[in-house]
Amino acid sequence: MKVVGIVAEYNPFHNGHAYHIKKAKEVTGSDFCIVVMSGNYTQRGVPAMIDKHSRARMALLNGADLVIELPVRFATSSAEGFATNAISILNATGVVTDLCFGSECGNIEKLSKIAKVLLDEPKEYQDVLKRELKNGHSYPVARNTALQGLDCWDFDSLKILSMPNNILGIEYIKALMKMGSKMNPVTIKRRGSNYNDCSLSDLFSSAMAIRSSIATTENLENIYSDVPENVYAIMQEKQNISFPIVPDDFSEMLHYKLLREKENGFTQYIDVNADLSDRIAKNVYQYKNYESFCDLLKTKNMTYTRISRCLLHILLDLKTDETMLPSYIRILGLNTKATELSKALKESCTLPLISKLADAQKQLPEEAVVLLKEDVFASNLYDTVLSHKFDSEFVSDYQKPVQTI
């Protein structure tokens, strides 16, 4: 049995994602596909536009056989943290034979060479990296300068590292190398729009372009050709009932939290350094909403996305704890016809499997319960915002069943 693993956000699910799942199964010759997916919050430090259970269903309807939730503290982490913990979960299933990801580069050898250098960190690389960081450059800029200074390249490493999917792919490969995983990495060249393109395209519009269209026009007809028909049907069903959610829907909650903790500072939260903590406290009375505050706080050395992640960590009460690791596997969705996969997973998985949330605390060790409670709180906060925005009934994370097809 061959099983391909995919790490995704599906915010929202679109034609490019359907293509990825189909090609991933084809190029690896896999019988099944397991997706590790962000929950209700994403790596850009924002709430997902549509809830995690709906997105899990979209994935199942378009070729995924099992959807696993990436816990929120990892889903909202840096590229390295996001990738490392997602790969750790796929590895823990004990059944995934291949990892398939999209990249702008499309060349697994080049990505692997960069990953190996970043993992080994030769002395000449470390020296330049330290110097550049000391000179006030952001980590990505310092890293790129340090890599460019090495004489081991027969290709443009800087160009590869300028593309977001390449960066994630390199982090996936690094994680596989570090763990000594037997999963085989495979990449598919990204087609259509670039990751950051904000305009709809004739071929595979980006998730950002689709989100932008929905947020600005509230007209789903504009994106009809950009998503599979079954996804469009779910969006129509959910529109103005539980979708769309945008970052500014969380503005008042975030403002309260910042005001409440201003005097104590914010350095206890993941990724928040002393400089950012001071700037938050200094500018908190200039706060208007979530997105404009990110704009206000960003600097040459700290990107909008990193600031958004930091603010989200504060809102969700996610504090720095290096000991926190993936310690369970929570199933969001399952293809009931994939019985061979389900059987193999139960036999091979090295972490507790959670399908019924109500029973989870009885089967988990204490540290895993802490991680799970973070997820439940974050999801219930999301659903609180959702119920207020659309004047709908609040449904707790505990009440939501695994999605099945």
Which of 48, 60, 74, 66 is CA-nearest to residue 5? Answer: 66
- Residue-wise pLDDT for 66-109, tens only, equals 999 999 999 999 999 999 999 999 999 999 999 999 999 999 99
Distance separating alpha carbons of residues 238 and 54, to the nearest angstrom? 9
148 band by pLDDT with thresholds 50, 70 and 90: confident
Helix (H) or strand (E) holding 232: helix 229-238
User: What is the structure's pLDDT at 396?
Assistant: 93
User: What is the structure's pLDDT at 194?
Assistant: 59
CB 13 within 8 A of CB 231: yes
CB 294 within 8 A of CB 306: no
User: What is the structure's pLDDT at 373?
Assistant: 95
User: What is the structure's pLDDT at 237?
Assistant: 95
Q: 122 preceded by cis ω (within 30°)?
A: no
Domain boundaries, the chain: 3-104+187-245+324-404, 247-315
Helix (H, G, I), strand (E, B) or coil at 341: helix
Instruction: Report the chain's mean pLDDT, rounded to a whole number.
Output: 93
Residue 202 corresponds to which amino acid?
Answer: D
User: What is the structure's pLDDT at 195?
Assistant: 55
203 band by pLDDT with thresholds 50, 70 and 90: confident
C-alpha torsion 200→203→207→209, nearest 10? -10
User: What is the structure's pLDDT at 85?
Assistant: 97
User: What is the structure's pLDDT at 251?
Assistant: 98
Tokens describing residue 397: 């994370």
- Residues in contact with 383: Cβ distance below 8 Å, sequence separation at least 6, in sequence order: 51, 394, 395, 396, 397
User: What is the structure's pLDDT at 162?
Assistant: 85
User: What is the structure's pLDDT at 192?
Assistant: 63
- Residue-wise pLDDT for 150-199, tens only, equals 877 767 777 888 888 999 999 999 999 999 999 999 999 987 655 565 66
394 pLDDT above the threshold of 70: yes
- Alpha helices for 34-156 (secondary structure H): 52-61, 72-75, 79-93, 108-120, 123-134, 139-148
C-alpha torsion 286→291→292→298, nearest 10? 90
334 pLDDT above the threshold of 70: yes
- What's the residue count for the chain? 405
What letter does residue 261 receive in the DSSP assignment?
H
Tokens describing residue 99: 């990892």
- Residue-wise pLDDT for 371-382, tens only, equals 999 999 999 999
CATH number of 3-104+187-245+324-404: 3.40.50
What letter does residue 299 receive in the DSSP assignment?
B
Distance separating alpha carbons of residues 106 and 192, to the nearest angstrom? 13
What is the mean predicted confidence (pLDDT) over 310-325? 94
Distance separating alpha carbons of residues 39 and 330, to the nearest angstrom? 11
219 band by pLDDT with thresholds 50, 70 and 90: confident
264 band by pLDDT with thresholds 50, 70 and 90: very high
Distance separating alpha carbons of residues 395 and 71, to the nearest angstrom? 19
Distance separating alpha carbons of residues 370 and 318, to the nearest angstrom? 11
